[in-house]
């Protein structure tokens, strides 16, 4: 009998879903999502004020829940409260990323042009710089590339990178630090 069939047979649905989820049963995970995704989305939408961001947070919550399902302890609380707890952390990350983007946008609006002259020259130099950085980034070990791309192109904090990649947070931090040092060294050598 599948988890879906067992759940449809009577009371104790939440307990059966939680047990199946903890076993790594994909059907149990699907049922957990069907049961609690609307709650998580509502909490995220109310906190963020944006349905699109709430959808992203909801997805992140369930990815984190699946990857960290061994951290769920039914004796300490319900699946709903555990998921809302994860959602609070993901909402905080989303708000921090939003604040970083706002600060960057404000700084860009208020910054004077760094170089006088035609904007085409600056745009051409920026394009060359992007190509050089991309090339040097592609020469790094794959794990360092992935961490740096997620940090700088996807604007993810290291905790989300760890959740997304499945790497321990300390490893993510090490990859970021080593990758940035290697990039700096290579870019400085190229400018000489």
Residue 169 has pLDDT above 70, yes or no: yes
Residue 8 has pLDDT above 70, yes or no: no
Of residues 104 and 89, which shows the higher confidence score? 89
Taking only the tens place, the pLDDT of each residue in 21-64 is 989 899 999 999 999 999 999 999 999 999 999 999 999 999 99
CB atoms within 10 A of CB 57: 27
pLDDT score, position 20: 92
pLDDT score, position 120: 64
Rounded mean pLDDT, 150-179: 89
Taking only the tens place, the pLDDT of each residue in 125-136 is 777 777 777 888
Fold of 117-192: Arc Repressor Mutant, subunit A (1.10.10)
Residue 97 has pLDDT above 80, yes or no: yes
Query: C-alpha 36: how far from its chain's center?
Result: 20
For 183, counting Cβ atoms within 10 Å of its Cβ (0-12 exposed, 13-18 middle, 19+ buried), the class is middle
Rounded mean pLDDT, 165-191: 85
Q: How far is CA 156 from CA 18, 69, 160, 162, in A?
A: 29, 22, 6, 10
Residue 67 has pLDDT above 50, yes or no: yes
Residue 82 has pLDDT above 80, yes or no: yes
Rounded mean pLDDT, 145-155: 86
State in words which class domain 1-111 has.
mainly alpha
CB atoms within 10 A of CB 130: 10
CB atoms within 10 A of CB 98: 14
**Residue 155 contacts residue 100 (beta carbons within 8 Å):** yes
Q: What is the pLDDT of the chain when averaged over all its residues?
A: 84
Domain residue spans of the chain: 1-111, 117-192
Q: What is the DSSP string of 103-169?
A: HHHHHHHHSPPSS-S-HHHHHHHHHHHHHHHHHHHHTS-HHHHHHHHHHHTS---HHHHHHHH---H
């Amino acid at each position: 009998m599948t988890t879906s069939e067992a759940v449809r047979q009577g009371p104790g649905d939440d307990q059966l879903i939680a047990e199946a989820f903890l076993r790594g049963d994909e059907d149990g995970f699907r049922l957990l999502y069907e049961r609690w995704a609307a709650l998580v989305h509502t909490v995220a939408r109310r906190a963020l004020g944006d349905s699109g961001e709430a959808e992203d947070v909801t997805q992140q919550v369930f990815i984190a829940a699946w990857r960290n399902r061994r951290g769920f302890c039914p004796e300490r609380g319900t699946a709903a409260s555990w998921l809302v707890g994860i959602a609070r952390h993901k909402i905080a990350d989303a708000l921090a990323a939003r604040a970083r983007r706002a600060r960057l946008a404000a700084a860009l609006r208020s910054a004077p042009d760094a170089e006088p002259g035609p904007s085409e020259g600056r745009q051409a130099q920026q394009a060359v710089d992007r190509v050089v950085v991309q090339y040097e980034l592609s020469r790094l070990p794959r794990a360092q590339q992935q961490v740096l791309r997620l940090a700088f192109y996807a604007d993810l904090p290291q905790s989300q990178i760890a959740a997304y990649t499945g790497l321990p947070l300390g490893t993510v931090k090490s990859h970021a630090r080593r990758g940035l040092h290697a990039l700096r060294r290579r870019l400085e050598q190229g400018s000489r």
